[in-house]
Chains A and B, each alone.
Chain A
């Protein structure tokens, strides 16, 4: 038995363990999974002196309320998150992007994410989790990963295998920027849509629907007319692909997406914008902007450089 553990007083809406995800499994129908917002995931681990690919607790909208028992440990929360730390006699508001040390009996109450979707809680140590295909990431749709592939529940206990000896407190000034447009590359079925439909795709606003989760983001907006066929023969998907079913409402594939799909692909969100895309809460307005492959590759290099810079400053 471990002497260091968390008790889940309130699990939150969709709280899971996530790490870097699992690869080489699309052909049997298993998606990547892993932390939705990769940059915030990495920063959370760096702030508590973890390996960058360590498991963290990912939450959406309302986060968990946790009671900690054991030796002193550091934790950090990333994203745009409202939370408090309750000690014996006091309760303080917490700030994202800095680590705190907690002791036996302290509580972390993650109230909500603010105008965003996902937040990350990293603990300075190693959570005791089951690995499946080299990852503990939970895929609730296929019940794969740690915690029997299910989201966290009230009253459960999460053990820590070990605690980091390095307990230096760290802080960084990162601001989650919003962007005006989500940049996309034309999809392989772009020409299935009428000229008017193509114009709508790039010029009109779409609204993020409530029916969005780790698997996909459904959008509502002006209907894009399909003039060829509203079905294609099922074929592979990757995260960021935008499919348009017959009703004309686009669906963007996210990290737990089905590995194949049969709706025409009008576009694909570029890798550099993925972290910001997943943070768009239901009701947010999305506008797409077309760029070409080499622009997308350059944007990704910049994104990656910025991520590495951020991490090296912590």
Chain B
């Protein structure tokens, strides 16, 4: 369960579920997230579940760290879990127009471009969380030999649709945004749609994702 509860600044509670990243820890985080969300505790204004942390932010005008911490410590987590996980296929083009960090990856991973792509596409990924900018899915796990750190200085602008790697994870940038992940390719598929206020995200925590390589022509002619 929660290993440690501390404050993050003066208006958020930081729940630490440990340092490991795996489905079992992540599903505990999600259970807490769902339970707390349903209880609608007065003053809590946001919940951010991630691999192994849950951050609960609140309105300091209404409540405070002590009260929210007490509320979380006294919560009972039910074990029943309805899942409606989906399996999705995401087309990705790795043409040199898009694979901005392939050379960096070749150097760090000591693998050829061909081998990197082969490893990347021959894999099923699990969606641990969504976030950063609107709907970005955090997918895992890449094999040990595919793990690279973030860029030393994050880019000011990563192109929308970029598919990128960091450590054991892959993600998709849903908008042009700053970011420090190693960019491998780009998907023409829309992953976030703000006109659907109920369900803006294509990929949700618990879903399975496979990437399918497409050519530049297929990318250009892509039609959702």
Contacts and interface: CB of A to CB of B under 8 A. Distances in A.
Main secondary structure of the interface of A (DSSP, over half): loop
Interface in A197-254: 211, 215-216, 230-231, 233-238, 240-241, 245-247, 249
Contacts of B47: 24, 26-27
Interface string A294-305: 001100100010
Indicate the member of B9, B64, B135 with the most A CB atoms within 10 Å: B9
Nearest to B11: A271
Interface stretch (B90-98, B114-122, B192-200, B212-220): B192-200
B133 interface: yes
B65 interface: yes
A132 B176 CA distance: 20
A28 B150 contact: no
Interface stretch (A79-87, A95-103, A107-115, A260-268): A260-268
A30 interface: yes
Contacts of A185: 7, 9-10
B166 A231 contact: yes
Contacts of B19: 233
Interface of B: 6-12, 14, 19, 21, 33, 45-55, 57, 60-61, 64-65, 129-136, 138, 149-154, 156, 166-167, 169, 174-178, 180, 192, 194, 197, 200-201
B8 A268 contact: yes
A154 interface: no
B93 to A, nearest CB: 23
A141 B135 CA distance: 12
Contacts of B197: 132-133
Among A132, A141, A269, max chain B CB count under 10 A is at: A141
Contacts of A143: 175, 194
A28 B201 contact: yes
A259 interface: yes
A236 B45 contact: no
Interface string A7-38: 00000000000000001111111101000000
28 contacts: A24-B45, A26-B47, A26-B55, A28-B131, A28-B135, A29-B192, A141-B175, A141-B177, A142-B134, A188-B14, A215-B178, A233-B52, A235-B48, A235-B50, A235-B51, A236-B57, A237-B55, A238-B9, A238-B12, A238-B57, A246-B149, A246-B150, A246-B152, A258-B131, A258-B177, A261-B132, A268-B10, A271-B9
* 5 interchain residue pairs of minimum CB distance: A236-B48, A268-B9, A236-B55, A296-B10, A142-B134
Nearest to B180: A245
Contacts of A260: 48, 50, 129, 131-132, 138
Given A26-B57, A300-B60, A247 B152 contact: yes
A11 B218 CA distance: 39
Contacts of A297: 10, 60, 64-65
A235 B167 CA distance: 14
Most buried by B among A27, A132, A300: A27
Contacts of B149: 230-231, 246
A293 interface: yes
A78 B48 CA distance: 33
Contacts of A211: 156
B51 A29 contact: no
A231 B133 contact: no
Given A241-B8, A245-B152, A271-B60, A234 B175 contact: no
B22 to A, nearest CB: 11
A145 to B, nearest CB: 9
Given A149-B194, A188-B6, A231-B166, 5 more contacts: A23-B46, A144-B194, A236-B12, A237-B55, A269-B9
Looking at B19, B55, B151, which has the most chain A CB atoms within 10 Å of its CB? B55
Contact of A29 (B12, B134, B153, B176): B134
